[in-house]
Amino acid sequence: MAELLKEALASKKELDAAKKELLDKLVSKEEFKQVVAELPTRESLEVVANEVGRLSSGMADVKGELNEIKWRMGQMEEKVTSLETKFDEKFDILLNAVDGVANKFDIMITEKAAIDHALTRQDERLDTHEVRIRRLEKKIA
């Protein structure tokens, strides 16, 4: 029986401790009224709901504008791609023309070098002929 009494006292102590802990957690009537008073009213919740609805419709408008902007950007990208293609074609034509002109300049430079060399040879031959003619004239005279 003593054991039973000890167990009963231990469980009463545990029960008292749990009761005290629960009472500590409970709020007073005044604290409860203060918390309830801080809660939003029905009118303020309706105002917030109306504002959320207005913002939601505004967001739909923004989404529509964003989709239109995306579509326009896609069109601009297509135009830029088209312009790049046209530019590449025109640039290729220009480079081909420049290559042709550069090739003609190369040919002209080569021909000029050949002509200069031939003229130099002719000048040397002419000089040697003049020397021979003078020697022959001296012998005759």
Per-residue model confidence as pLDDT tens digits over 10-42 = 676 777 777 677 666 666 777 777 777 777 778
116 lies in a domain?
yes
21 lies in a domain?
no
100 lies in a domain?
yes
Note down the domain range covering 108: 40-140
Q: How far is CA 130 from the centre of its chain?
A: 79
50-74 mean pLDDT: 85
The domain total for the chain is 1
d(CA 67, CA 60): 11
d(CA 44, CA 22): 34
Amino acid at residue number 22: L
14 lies in a domain?
no
Nearest to 105 by CA among 141, 113, 128: 113
35 touches 27 (CB < 8 A): yes
32 lies in a domain?
no
Using 50, 70 and 90 to split pLDDT, how confident is the model at 52?
A: confident
